[in-house]
Structure 1
Amino acid sequence: MSTVHVTRRSDSGSIWLLPTTALAWLTAVVWASLSGALGGLANAFMPAYAALVAVGIATPVLAYFSVPAVRHATDRFGLRWLTLMHVWRIPAALLFFWYGALGELPTLFWVLAGVGDLLAGCFAATLWWRPATRERLRRIHIFGFADFVVAVGTGLAFTLLGDPRMALLTTLPMALIPLFGVGLSGASHIVALHALTRTEVRA
């Protein structure tokens, strides 16, 4: 069974584009939550918060497909690390379980999102000791994307229904999941599945 390698680019500085952008994004989310901007938005019109989540997903995807520098940086980052990044979903799952057990999130939402994230994170973590073969990467990202669709869809449904418990997602640490982690996860699944079809990705 062969391991997937992404073609390296000579512009070594491009490898810092993704982590630098992610750090700036993370900082913006933390500031928006601590300043009360997210809470104010949720109080005024909660569906607008859902729109922010959608923007967080669409922006990196559009950047990948339309900005060559972003695609080159992704190639240099590598599919293995792009996949291992999903280990973050394990602590996210624990947060869902914690707040769900306290009754601060809708039951259906925290069960589906928590269990799905735990499984997706553990599945991604297997790349620490197993080779990143094309088929293994494809399975991890297909499963992770399915969980992503279920969790985001369920969360969106409760948000549009006006469930007041969804306001928890505007406060730290939970705000990091929909406004940072969800965007990175959704975009990286789409990017990885697309990259696995490209000739530059050799199996």
Structure 2
Amino acid sequence: MTPQVPVYLMTFEMALRPFVVAIGLGLIWMGAARMEGSARSRYGTAGALSVALIVWLAGAQFLGSSNAYRATGEDAVPTVLLGLLIPLMVAAAGMWSSQRIASLVLAIPLPWLVAAQAYRVGGGIFLVLWADGRLPWQFALPAGIGDVTTGCFAVIVATLLAQRSHRAVSAAYSWSLFGIADLVVAVAMGGMTSPGRVHVLAHDAPNLLISSYPLVMVPTFAVPLALMLHGIVLWQLRRKIGSTSRLATA
């Protein structure tokens, strides 16, 4: 079954996508400006990461618009998970194997890393689609409310970090863990409400839009990007606390 994609969803996604990409590119070049090393090394690394981000976006858009992830029946394998997991594995491998990439992401200012996820308020589109009768509530409510909450608190937590508040580190940890949990719940509910082998909810109104273009860009681009940002935030927080502990011991 091919779902009818509303015009407002296409318009919304086309407006939000370049904004999210601009955030990602901005963070990359911000890290390049602050990391140690020669200009050639710093900006060469930033250029390579920028190309990788754009190629990833183009690939996700091509596969999504080609209906590569659309479920064809109740026995279908949820291939959309590949679009989510492969970028995460590639990013993890890159940071693990390349000192330059690791240095760049660790040089991105923590407040900006957190504030970047203000784009998550765009998850409110799930609530609009639910109210319009196009998404099941089992998926739309937790995904939409969780994303909007994460996006709103991103600004608050980023402000605390910028002001070096004594509550900033604990707030950043709590916010990041909540944001990750929101994404995990959204992915799980997306699978359980969509046609496929794990479809156990919303049989009367299955979640057909989430594997259709353009909404499929959420699990194949926006969600992996958000998880990457959360991972970098937690990595920086861990190093920050470790450095503080070593100084206190000394």
What TM-score, normalized to structure 1? 0.80
Q: Deviations over 1:125-151 (max 9, x none)?
A: 225644344333223212211212222
The equivalent of 1:83 in structure 2 is 114
Structure with the larger RCO, 1 or 2 (CA within 8 Å, 6+ apart)? 1
The equivalent of 1:161 in structure 2 is 199
Residue 90 (structure 1) shift: 0.7
Residue 193 (structure 1) shift: 1.0
Q: Does 1:181 align with 2:218?
A: no
Identity %: 24
**Residue 19 to residue 79, structure 1, CA distance change in 2 (3 Å):** farther
- Distance in 1, matches of 2:157 and 2:149, equals 14
The equivalent of 1:12 in structure 2 is 42
Residue 95 (structure 1) shift: 1.6
Q: Which one of the candidate residues 79, 86, 95 is aligned to 1:48?
A: 79
Moved more, 125-134 or 51-60: 125-134
**Residue 200 to residue 143, structure 1, CA distance change in 2 (3 Å):** closer
Residue 156 (structure 1) shift: 2.8
- Distance in 2, matches of 1:128 and 1:189, equals 13
Task: Give the aligned residue type for 2:126.
Answer: F
CA contact (8 A) 1:84 1:124 kept: yes
The equivalent of 1:21 in structure 2 is 52
The equivalent of 2:182 in structure 1 is 147
* Bigger Cα Rg: 2
Task: Give the aligned residue type for 2:125.
Answer: L
The equivalent of 1:116 in structure 2 is 146
The equivalent of 2:17 in structure 1 is none
CA contact (8 A) 2:124 2:145 kept: no
Q: Structure 1: which 5+ runs fail to align?
A: 1-5
**Residue 12 to residue 142, structure 1, CA distance change in 2 (3 Å):** same
RMSD over equivalenced CA pairs, Å: 2.8
Residue 48 (structure 1) shift: 1.9
Q: Structure 2: which 5+ runs fail to align?
A: 1-30, 163-167, 245-250
The equivalent of 2:132 in structure 1 is 102
Aligned positions, number: 195
Residue 97 (structure 1) shift: 1.0
